[in-house]
Amino acid sequence: MPQAPVTTAGLCDKVAIVTGGAGGIGSEICRALADQGARVVVGYNTSAGAAETLAATLSGKGHFAAPAPVVDSDAMRALATRVEADCGRADILINAAGTTRFVAHPDLDGLDDAVIDTILSVNVRGVIAATRAFRALLARNGNGLVVNISSIAAVTAMGSNIAYCASKAAVDNLTKSLGRALAPDIRVVSVSPGLVDTEFVRGLDEAWRNQQAERTPLKRLAFPCEVASAVIAAAVHLPFTTGSIIAVDGGRPLA
């Protein structure tokens, strides 16, 4: 009879790629992965300086920043080639790159085609493109992992705009489809936070932020480190989990 795998602490000798790695959530994920012993590739689109600074300050050795424009499939394939050449392997892909813009849900005219196309290209097509680019490397050792950073907007249909909500619903659906399609060599999981207390969110209207916290059963916003902890849980502690959505939302959908 097959034996259950032994879960060991940490991610020593593993290589993790984080798209959107210099963002408020992505940077905490990079730190958590490095703290667990992984070698981290901090992927960025336009934040080269922030990504390079982050890579230089992560615990451990061998980390580096690299362009990861998820809307450019050729560039993502080039990144996979570089990771293979420099690291010899890829074990974990975190699809944390994302974009949005605040547009009131009834304002369909304000949600112009360019905004819709950008949101869907980055948030949905980008997940497919990055996963496709790294599939062969992730599957090589038979225990690869893809973690997609989603949002409770996928479930509540409440978020920065209706296209954003739809994009995150698509990400959760992709997680399930890819979890089936890439098994058994690659697991795929969504981490789905509520509103996260990032620098970006702290720059929004304080009364609105307080209202969102009050509407959450646990009476606060999520911390970026809690999202990162869910990623670590998927990587280290949940080896028999795939196609699942891990909520980090303080119970918001219950309200």
Q: Would you name the residues annotated as active-site residues?
A: 164
Q: How far apart are CA 208 and CA 138, in angstroms?
A: 41
Amino acid letter, 63: H
Structure letter (DSSP) for residue 99: -
Residues ≥6 apart with Cβ < 8 Å to 171: 95, 123, 124, 127, 148, 150, 154, 190
What stretch of H or E contains 114? helix 113-120
What stretch of H or E contains 222? none
Q: Which of 100, 178, 84 is nearest to 136 (CA)?
A: 84
Residues ≥6 apart with Cβ < 8 Å to 24: 196, 198, 199, 200, 201, 224
Structure letter (DSSP) for residue 142: S
Residue ranges with strand state E in 30-126? 39-44, 64-67, 92-95
Length of the chain (residues): 255
Can you state the angle between helices 113-120 and 162-181, rounded to 10 degrees? Answer: 30
